[in-house]
Amino acid sequence: MNIPLLDLKAQFQPLRAEILAAMQTVCDEQGFVLGPRVIAFEEAIGKYIGARYAIGCASGSDALLLSLMAMGVEQGDEVITVPFTFFATAGAISRLGAKPVFVDIQRDSFNFDPTQLERAITSHTKAIIPVHLFGQCADMAAINRIANARKIPVIEDACQAIGAGQGNKRAGVLGDTGCFSFFPSKNLGGFGDGGMITTNDQALADTLSMLRVHGSRVRYLHEAVGINSRLDALQAVVLHIKLKYLNQWAEGRRRNAATYDRLFKQAGLLERVSVPTTHAGNFHVYNQYTIRASRRDDLRSYLKDKGVGTEIYYPIPMHLQNCYKNLGHKKGSFPISEQAAEQVLSLPIYAELSDSHLTYVVDTIAEFYRR
Ligand SMILES: *Cc1c(COP(=O)(O)O)cnc(C)c1O
């Protein structure tokens, strides 16, 4: 068997004709940057998330950067986030000359540990960025309680969590802004880079729309130094079509996750492998199905030899990255993140997988531990 970590060709095949026709329309129209196709998609995303405003931009990384800019984050400010995330979360903070201040994660959910938030806050704290890692929301009620009491804005890094829920709300309206990525490997993936910011705050939405076009509301009048970060029409039409299938794909991922959970248990593997935990009230969309495994690196190469693609998200926490040496952290500063980095392994979870694929993956893992 050959089971890649992600198989976008399998997702594309049934949509091929529909997507190519839409792309052809854009080619005929020759309108490529922002414009009516992008507006229509922004409206669709806003409706899907339950957000009053949705602002397209060039990437998830830019969605984070623009959110921080809109909140006035600048040199000397501090922004609190987690070290166990994709680099973009911390990078956006640093790009503005602000300092990423880390809090560790919860062992079971891999998400922001709200019990550590209070002591990380200083008079310089300008924003908090919880990450909804792997498709499950961080504990936003607890984070918002602390943030709201101090009037510190909260930016959701929902790049891996489109369609995820907490209580009766979707990721993207659980903080002041929600940041989404349409990088091809995300649950809603485009044919290149793309991103979106959602918010219910009209003033923030106006500022974001201005910042993404070089700080201009009226052409050639610049009221702030913004950036060039726009969504294009080709991405918008592709994503707009894919959006119709997003819930169905999420259900497929959830079904596969439940099957993995059951298979790992049946195989008696729960001593060697721990399966993902979903917190009460969360709707997990499994952008990744991430286990913790003993002898993780050996397991990974064994799986590779047997045709199973896996990935380590993420092998080095932010506080131990070379570019953050200046922050003065060391090994042991954020032990839960460091332990996660040594143990995690993400398995194929996309909707198109069949039960026989999942069985093969778990059987192969069982075989590895029996040797
Ligand atoms: C993908 C991702 C981003 C960045 O998105 P891009 O569109 O690749 O710039 C940011 N944060 C997290 C957690 C991500 O997974």
Residues 309-337 have pLDDT tens digits of: 999 999 999 999 999 999 999 999 999 99
Q: Which residues line ligand 1 (CB under 6 A)?
A: 59-61, 85-86, 88-89, 131, 157, 159-160, 181, 183, 193, 195
pLDDT of 297: 98
Q: Which residues of the chain have pLDDT under 50?
A: none
- Decide if 42 contacts 33 (C-beta within 8 A): no
What backbone phi and psi angles, to 5 degrees, belong to 15? -105, 0
Rounded Cα–Cα distance for residues 284 and 164 (Å): 6
- How many A from CA of 188 to the centre of ligand 1? 12
Determine the atom of ligand 1 nearest the C-alpha atom of 193: 7
- Decide if 171 contacts 154 (C-beta within 8 A): no
CA distances from 21 to 10, 41, 238 (A): 19, 17, 10
pLDDT of 215: 97
pLDDT of 193: 98
Rounded Cα–Cα distance for residues 85 and 131 (Å): 7
pLDDT of 56: 98
pLDDT of 6: 98
For residue 169, how far is the Cα from the chain centroid?
A: 17
pLDDT of 298: 98
Residue minimizing CA distance to atom 10 of ligand 1: 88
Tell me the fold of 246-370. Answer: Aspartate Aminotransferase, domain 1 (3.90.1150)
Three-state DSSP class for residue 57: strand
Order of strands, sheet of 273-274, starting from the edge strand that comes earlier in the sequence: 273-274, 289-293, 344-347
User: DSSP labels for 258-327?
Assistant: HHHHHHHHHTT-TTTEE-----TTEE---S-EEEEETTHHHHHHHHHHTTB--B-S-SS-GGGSGGGGGG
- How many A from CA of 187 to the centre of ligand 1? 12
Three-state DSSP class for residue 61: helix
Q: Answer whether 0.95 is exceeded by the pTM.
A: yes
- How many A from CA of 88 to the centre of ligand 1? 6
What backbone phi and psi angles, to 5 degrees, belong to 306? -95, 10
Three-state DSSP class for residue 10: helix
Residue minimizing CA distance to atom 6 of ligand 1: 60
- Identity of residue 126: K
Residue minimizing CA distance to atom 5 of ligand 1: 60
Q: Given this chain, do its domains 8-103+110-243 and 246-370 carry the same CATH topology?
A: no
Tell me the fold of 8-103+110-243. Answer: Aspartate Aminotransferase; domain 2 (3.40.640)
pLDDT of 104: 98
Domain boundaries, the chain: 8-103+110-243, 246-370
- Where do we find the tokens 């004709």? 17
- How many A from CA of 195 to the centre of ligand 1? 9
Three-state DSSP class for residue 128: strand
pLDDT of 299: 98
pLDDT of 303: 98
pLDDT of 101: 98
- How many A from CA of 259 to the centre of ligand 1? 27
Structure tokens, 115 = 């019990």
